Structure 1
């Protein structure tokens, strides 16, 4: 069927006409750009169901305007599909549990090493029909309109473009299909569960009663590789972590709010950010970035506020230890009475080697707390005991409502109130500033209500050390040990927003994925249950670096003029590329090197490179960092290695130095240096290479040098990589959408970059353009007002419309 669809791209000369129109129209009361009403309906012509104007500026950033929520989401989906349709189609396939049907059961995604069959069973479990329909029904009317509009926009893009004309990655793919509102809800639930059920895929699909063969071999995992190990979450917060600094009026050069946001997210897959600007006149005028498939800005700014997020340290799940009926391992005891586990048979269609489709079925078990999970050697299902996972975020249907409330807030009080009232953020802290110079930190997310008293009474003795780190296993034998509920909470079993940490300051707040404790060391946040925020624990290097740099700037002890922060100084903090732990230990390492006159060749090589290294990961730094990171990962957890151990009374400056007077520590350092040298030799890196020759982002035939290093090494500009062969490392996660925001009499002044660029399509001119700017540390000024948008040298515009009869059209 031929669909009538027309579009119009405005020439550059429209900038002058736009400026004149704005001058004639004047400013609206909320400073939102005006938009024209929907096109008038001609006699006999069906009315418009959705209509959105999509204007593009430099680097492909869409500015989307509409008169209602459904039309806005329609425009977002259309614009996002123009840039990333294959990525979105792939994600819809995943969350529907359909990967094995199209790609086979043993293949894995680019962003995961979990086989498709396991992924499919997992999503069929959490996205069962009843749960998804319940979640859709729970959305408020404006949010349902956004879900419906987004689905319409995506489907219309597919129909208008045609399967034959999609980008090469998904052209004529059997897995590319139109979607429904239920598919959108499945995607939202996937995001909600990212820091909870999403980390238990293997544990959930591998859970079978004693004596039955599991879906996958029951092999005890290595330390740090499963979600009941605190080191696992430390590593996750490095991969999908963030830094943020919010500066109040007492800390900025102009006496107004100033914000730095640097989320560290995957450079591949659905967790990639996408830049966009959304406007509903009189309601909404927010710009920033969102995860793929989100019809709402997640991190960004409006006329009076700017905000960002950091992955938080709270737990969003509990595990419940089930005492089983001696005669039946699928029955458990609660308050002395046996309860039968719920059984659910899940079917997955699987493509065989011959291309034929067959169905595989598995039965999964759940208690009243949630699905049974198994981690061999940690959470085993035997004749007497089993473990069940309670994921509080699977009942969180408020994410869209939450970000809508934040983006439409006009004042800091409205902003805080929206977060407290909704409690819809799944797993991220919020840091924000307003134009008047308030700085806000809020650790208000969906957290199971486990009070300190309940922790003491209900955590079995073997699991108390985990609880002290924020991971909770509770007794399932007593209903009194189930999570409680605050009276003001929007769902059962969680804390109310008012019960969770927050801090408002006129100087600063910050966070780099540690707990709420030291958001500002002058006003520590203490006394919260461990499941919310853990006090008096060693902080990440990025936390210590961020606090130290801000403190030195405000004290005037960083060698720069003045005692207030400017935007260039804030940007230098973000991308200075200091390796914090190198500053803590390298003097001692080099002293050891000088004392080892008869050292072996590997140790001599490592010492020589480290002696020449400037302790940064800038493009022109030598490869000493490779030796340092190999050293650091081997000694960081060696008992007694620190000269000055962690001191809760001085958490920003401890631990520090190496205890080389201890022969065991000195030996560990020597061995680690030699092993690091061997690693570099195996990598095949030239000894004359610079860091920019080694760490790269491949974009077609281009290999773009990328600065930054591992967050675990204390690098604020956290970048993660994998081996790419020929002595190169390919970036796969790290600094993503990075923004600095300040305010003046003209409103928000914003510079930002999307490190991996807007589009995943190699044929797009926006596949690598921002990546090249990020490589050069060339921040991009963001056009926000109508005049700025139309004055942009790359300005173009189109209007997309779906008529009530389902046809597509646009104004000429």
Structure 2
């Protein structure tokens, strides 16, 4: 039988109550929120260099985790404390039912709590902890000890203002870390369905939702059932990764660009660190939200980065219901019953008192029942479930640890294939000898093409073409399959998933694996894994076209190989790719009459057209208001009948589509109206003809406004920065380029440069709250001290030694 995504009921059938109790009490006593006592012998050194980067050294895994937990708490204890609250489903208890987290796409607190209590129930957490290898347990136990020691030393009254004396701040447990890891795993599927999961209730019951609404309003756009939703997610908070091999670099060795795009606030912020166990581990880079290892980085032999992949990490299942009972369904002609699971959540009331709210989820071996009005409704005939494959993935910590210690590209590849623990990211990697690797190997439900064709009902085949599968659950033959080579039931084995090795380059910008290198397209995979012959995003196209031009020597620069400075310039050129594809046609709108109408207003286009002609097609700080005119026009026109003159051609995917279709007077009128509307929008924003992009898009840091270059993904800008409008016409950077890194291997080892766009700390009082934001604004790439000599020679070098029995010592 396939392992369910939310497996409490099924695993209870396989695991005795005594065994569960033993596991909980032995290593994961998290439900009473008691802290794990540190074991004897925890000790670590924390050496800080410029910009607050900690270089953590210990003799063993426990000591390493101890140092990581302590250092991270020094910089971000409030963020970690809130992360613990979220993963435990306690946001409503402390912050109220209707408020949301730091980022705009988070669910209201009550719905969030229901979801995280569902996926992080005690038995699921105990199972995840039990399946951790001994080194990972030691690492986590050490992390918990380090975090708790720092909290004890400071006391709640000595914490930063954001959490000072907060009732919600407490000691950490190993169970908390397991829950946080599972919360990250759910980013690939489950957390995007919270509204639909909470909306589900048996038809006819008092809790059943009206057919026209879900449990809470979404913030616009398609639902997570629509492939377009995932395309937008990948484009918006995705990443760029480039690995250049011996045939593409100036010195004939490997080179890497890492450019993940993430929120600048909240759980998914990166944190820089360097981890060393002498003779065993020496790795540097950045971790995701307090994880006790490097997520993106390098060691002396290999360097790697990740990009969100397009594989689906979930399946949806159509249940055929018993006409007499909508909580019973048919499988292979036999009636089975759903399992009801009640979740209780404490909710803070307006007067500060607590009240208990409850919600019933209904589960099956194929996941949790969901409800999407007018599409996937729970009615008397059918119900639909969400099966999140990553809820059975307990291998994330072991996966990244194996990558951290890989001694060759082959060892890195073998570890990814064997563990299959990456939840939702491609791997782009290179070694010191100049071999490159793209691996689209993640946790993907095992639904080969033949099963997709046989098991997707006709009404859902269009969704299947985009990788979102609704499978017929009335026959067990349509369940995701089991491959004995896979480490988890119901997923593809790593060796059956896409990969490409080259001596020139591989790249990914959140499109499928198809065009990792156009010279060797990856084809023939099921849609749930990788879609080919599909129009590529502007970021993919500009990334490939810039690489092709450099290696062909047609970019105006000398030679045909890449230097590290040229690779950095490829990212920070901030070119708006779609401007290069359409600007000549847009400017044709300026060649007609001087006046154009928009919303009943006649607009003089003379000066705006002059600015548009002199705009350099970038989102650099000095870009003129022409960028504002272009972006407004693009937002209005994209997807309209006016669009591409040359349509997408799978045989020429990098250069198509292009040009605007302006073959009649009506099309020209539409374009001129869009330009006139853009002019009115810029005036309403208060942007004058001499306004530059750096005056508009900024980041507020301690009362100072720091200009931020880069622009939104939909304009084909490689260096993605998303910003939200402020009163007065300015914009605040909220997401996009975060940990930006290049690594060049030479005869002296890895030479790395990196900037963390939002800095190491969320505490405004920290010296590392805005220092790297200033660097990012200036396009400055600090060199990372990696060797012992480089660390000790850093002008900002400071060292502390910590142990579990005492406070930090100078």
Give the TM-score of the pair, scaled to structure 2: 0.92
SS of equivalent to 2:41: strand
2:190 aligned residue: 197
2:72 aligned residue: 80
2:318 aligned residue: 321
1:310 aligned residue: 307
- Aligned pair in 2 of structure 1 residues 682, 478: CA closer, same or farther (>3 Å)? farther
- The whole-number CA distance in structure 1 between the counterparts of 2:181 and 2:726 is 33
- The whole-number CA distance in structure 1 between the counterparts of 2:559 and 2:267 is 43
2:715 aligned residue: 713
1:267-278, aligned counterparts within 5 Å?
Answer: 267-278=264-275
- The whole-number CA distance in structure 2 between the counterparts of 1:440 and 1:679 is 45
| Structure 1: gaps of 5 or more residues | 1-45
Q: Deviations over 1:664-710 (max 9, x none)?
A: 54444334333333332332223321000000011011110000001
How far 1:225 sits from its partner (Å)? 3.1
How far 1:637 sits from its partner (Å)? 1.3
SS of equivalent to 1:250: coil
SS of equivalent to 1:725: coil
Contact 1:239 1:266 survives alignment (8 Å): no
Match of 2:583 among 583, 586, 590: 586
Q: Deviations over 1:368-393 (max 9, x none)?
A: 21111112122211111111000000
2:5 aligned residue: none
- The whole-number CA distance in structure 2 between the counterparts of 1:71 and 1:185 is 19
1:679 aligned residue: 681
Contact 1:627 1:680 survives alignment (8 Å): yes
SS of equivalent to 2:80: helix
Judge which range, 288-297 or 590-599, deviates more: 590-599
Judge which range, 210-219 or 439-448, deviates more: 210-219
- Aligned pair in 2 of structure 1 residues 700, 145: CA closer, same or farther (>3 Å)? same
2:671 aligned residue: 669
- The whole-number CA distance in structure 2 between the counterparts of 1:238 and 1:387 is 28
2:213 aligned residue: 219
Match of 2:162 among 169, 175, 185: 169
Contact 1:640 1:665 survives alignment (8 Å): yes
- The whole-number CA distance in structure 1 between the counterparts of 2:187 and 2:798 is 36
- The whole-number CA distance in structure 2 between the counterparts of 1:533 and 1:663 is 41
- The whole-number CA distance in structure 2 between the counterparts of 1:464 and 1:285 is 48
SS of equivalent to 2:169: coil
- The whole-number CA distance in structure 2 between the counterparts of 1:47 and 1:638 is 64
Where relative contact order (Cα < 8 A, 6+ residues apart) is larger, the structure is: 1
- The whole-number CA distance in structure 2 between the counterparts of 1:669 and 1:195 is 39
1:375 aligned residue: 372
User: How well do the aligned residues superpose, as a CA RMSD in angstroms?
Assistant: 1.6
How far 1:603 sits from its partner (Å)? 7.0
Judge which range, 124-133 or 780-789, deviates more: 124-133
Q: Deviations over 1:190-240 (max 9, x none)?
A: 101102001111111111121335598752768733101222112211332
Q: Deviations over 1:411-437 (max 9, x none)?
A: 111111011110000000001111101
Contact 1:603 1:670 survives alignment (8 Å): no
2:382 aligned residue: 385
**Residue 187 in 1 paired to residue 184 in 2?**
no
1:487 aligned residue: 484
Contact 1:349 1:359 survives alignment (8 Å): yes
SS of equivalent to 1:139: coil
Contact 2:608 2:689 survives alignment (8 Å): no
**Residue 465 in 1 paired to residue 465 in 2?**
no
1:19 aligned residue: none
Alignment coverage as a number of residue pairs = 763
Contact 1:262 1:737 survives alignment (8 Å): yes
Match of 2:774 among 772, 775, 794: 772
- The whole-number CA distance in structure 1 between the counterparts of 2:655 and 2:352 is 60
- Aligned pair in 2 of structure 1 residues 144, 663: CA closer, same or farther (>3 Å)? farther
- Aligned pair in 2 of structure 1 residues 574, 339: CA closer, same or farther (>3 Å)? same
1:791 aligned residue: 793
- Aligned pair in 2 of structure 1 residues 378, 593: CA closer, same or farther (>3 Å)? farther
1:328-347, aligned counterparts within 5 Å?
Answer: 328-347=325-344
Give the TM-score of the pair, scaled to structure 1: 0.92
**Residue 725 in 1 paired to residue 727 in 2?**
yes
Match of 1:53 among 35, 39, 45: 45
Contact 1:48 1:801 survives alignment (8 Å): no
How far 1:608 sits from its partner (Å)? 4.3
- Aligned pair in 2 of structure 1 residues 739, 386: CA closer, same or farther (>3 Å)? same
How far 1:609 sits from its partner (Å)? 3.7
How far 1:332 sits from its partner (Å)? 1.4
1:808 aligned residue: 806
SS of equivalent to 2:613: helix
How far 1:526 sits from its partner (Å)? 0.5
**Residue 507 in 1 paired to residue 504 in 2?**
yes
Match of 1:71 among 57, 63, 68: 63
1:280-295, aligned counterparts within 5 Å?
Answer: 280-295=277-292
- Aligned pair in 2 of structure 1 residues 123, 621: CA closer, same or farther (>3 Å)? same
SS of equivalent to 1:81: helix
How far 1:338 sits from its partner (Å)? 1.7
SS of equivalent to 1:599: strand
**Residue 207 in 1 paired to residue 194 in 2?**
no
Contact 1:72 1:280 survives alignment (8 Å): yes
Q: Deviations over 1:107-146 (max 9, x none)?
A: 1222135211111111111111111111111111111111
| Structure 2: gaps of 5 or more residues | 1-37
**Residue 257 in 1 paired to residue 233 in 2?**
no
- The whole-number CA distance in structure 2 between the counterparts of 1:266 and 1:430 is 20
2:567 aligned residue: 570
**Residue 89 in 1 paired to residue 81 in 2?**
yes
